[in-house]
Structure 1
Amino acid sequence: MGHFKPEKLFVEYMVGVTATEPIIPRRYTLTHSDLTGDLFLTIGSHYAWDKINPTRDEVLGGWKIKEIPLYYCVYLHIDQGQYHQTAAAKRNEIFRRELPLALTAIKYADKLLFNTFPHLAQAPIIVNFMSAFPQFARQESWGTFQSIFT
């Protein structure tokens, strides 16, 4: 992926979701093309499973309410049980390196939502690294959308 280029981002809203509502349920499916560097973001009330390829290198996210009043939850599939530990380690490294770009693209694409509800920029980002290997399977706090831009 690399450096964020707005002209390489293509956004699609699914039926029932607009640029400013709803917040919940609001799910984000971010995929990309390794060939062109294009990013494809689908925003809907559910994930765009039809956009996901077998390599599972997508970034899934959505707004949630639980113990914390409101937070943004991310799911990353590190290995899906298909890869050996070395490959999982490499994917983990790539996801960690590229996640700030993915979050930047999501905030940029959904800027009308963030402008309408400025408190969303202060919501915690919780990232779930999903892996069969215990050293990669973890949940981490990645700050806020506001902290990504400062």
Structure 2
Amino acid sequence: MSFSPFKLYTQYRPDIEHFTPFSERTYTLTHSDQTGDLFLTVSKEFATDQTNEMRDEVFGWWTQPKNNQVQFQGSVLVGTEDIPETAQQIRYQIFMREMSTALKGIFYGERWLLETYPFLKESPIWIQFRSNLPQYSGNIYFGTVKDYM
């Protein structure tokens, strides 16, 4: 699926204001398999009420590790003991294939923030793939924010 800004719907929860610092913002990106629409929720908490039983959402947030460079971190659930290995392999492949679209959606939805704080465009992106199987688990580097703008 390729990214289309016309298929992105961004919701800001009441706890987020225009001036809320980037370090307090979290992102929950979900989608519709039927329409291809993306739904981005920006809040101080992850929007777990927007997730479904498929658990195919992407969570994201900004961090500032010890080296003082801001990073964009994310997390996806590939699988647990309840999900067979064959299903986890498929989920992993889908997340890898669609991560570019997801990241474009998040950064397009917060484009004004990135214009206000242009240094965020240089932030490296690390996505944690969570699985009980080591071959589908780990942190993966996805370039920098500007790669998805």
- What is the TM-score of this pair, normalised by structure 2? 0.94
Alignment of 1:58-137 (within 5 A): 58-69=57-68, 70-137=70-137
Given the alignment of the two structures, is residue 45 of structure 1 paired with residue 19 of structure 2, yes or no?
A: no
What code does the residue aligned with 1:35 have? Q
Q: CA RMSD in A?
A: 1.2
Could you list the runs of 5+ residues in structure 2 that have no partner in the other structure?
none
Deviation at 1:21, TM superposition (A): 2.6
Could you list the runs of 5+ residues in structure 1 that have no partner in the other structure?
none
**Is contact 1:121–1:145 with CA below 8 Å preserved after alignment?**
yes
What code does the residue aligned with 1:82 have? D
Larger CA deviation: 129-138 vs 15-24: 15-24
1:82/1:63 CA distance change after superposition, 3 Å: same
**Is contact 1:24–1:63 with CA below 8 Å preserved after alignment?**
yes
**Is contact 2:107–2:148 with CA below 8 Å preserved after alignment?**
no
Task: Tell me the residue number matched to 2:25.
Answer: 26
Q: Greater share of helix residues, 1 or 2?
A: 2
What code does the residue aligned with 2:35 have? T
**Is contact 1:20–1:113 with CA below 8 Å preserved after alignment?**
no
Deviation at 1:117, TM superposition (A): 0.2
- What is the TM-score of this pair, normalised by structure 1? 0.94
Q: Distance in 2 between matches of 1:98 and 1:20?
A: 30
1:68/1:31 CA distance change after superposition, 3 Å: farther
Task: Tell me the residue number matched to 2:2.
Answer: 3
Deviation at 1:19, TM superposition (A): 4.1
**Is contact 1:59–1:102 with CA below 8 Å preserved after alignment?**
yes
Q: Distance in 2 between matches of 1:81 and 1:72?
A: 28
Q: Distance in 2 between matches of 1:67 and 1:54?
A: 36
Q: Distance in 2 between matches of 1:97 and 1:31?
A: 15
SS at match of 2:119: helix
Q: Distance in 2 between matches of 1:32 and 1:90?
A: 17
**Is contact 1:11–1:42 with CA below 8 Å preserved after alignment?**
yes
Query: Stretches of 4+ moved more than 3 A in 1?
Result: none
Deviation at 1:118, TM superposition (A): 0.4
Deviation at 1:141, TM superposition (A): 1.6
Deviations 1:6-45 (A, max 9, x none): 1111000012213453211110000001111111000011
